[in-house]
Amino acid sequence: MSRRPRYIGRAMSISRDEAREIAIVGILATVVLRVGAGVLQLIDDIGQQSTARSLAGRLLAPIGSTVGMLALGAVLLIVLSPTGSITPAVVKAARRVAGLVALLGIAASFHSLALGYSDVLARIWFAMINGLAAATLGTTGWWILRNFDADR
């Protein structure tokens, strides 16, 4: 008599390792969506009235602490998972996304500080809560994955 799995109310089940990997991919996809939203804003703003300053502002608008926390969260899921439970491709993607967040955070900070429309203290405050936060969190995640030793 063959034993068939019973599916009551669910189509399939996944393991903890698969759940972690799916969560990491979902987090990374969310980061890509946030960055993509900036690209779409830039495309939408292209026209005769747009300037390089306004286009950069539209591109970098979604880059902030939320994007940085998502990138670092994916990294922490990776390093806190058992060795070998996350595929190398997902680890590489997370490192690249964290590096991208760091670079975009630096660019957003520069844009806010150098090209902002408000007074100096307001530009510093805005850069601190947005671009600098993303840059700090993204750089932290990138550095952790770059230097992580699973055997230690």
pLDDT by residue (tens digit) across 58-109?
A: 999 999 999 999 999 999 999 999 999 999 999 999 999 999 999 999 999 9
CA separation for the pair 45, 33 (Å, rounded): 18
CB atoms within 10 A of CB 21: 20
pLDDT value for 116: 84
Do residues 17 and 81 make contact, with C-beta atoms less than 8 angstroms apart? Answer: yes
Quote the distance between the C-alpha of residue 89 and its chain's center.
16
**1 pLDDT higher than 70:** no
Quote the distance between the C-alpha of residue 129 and its chain's center.
16
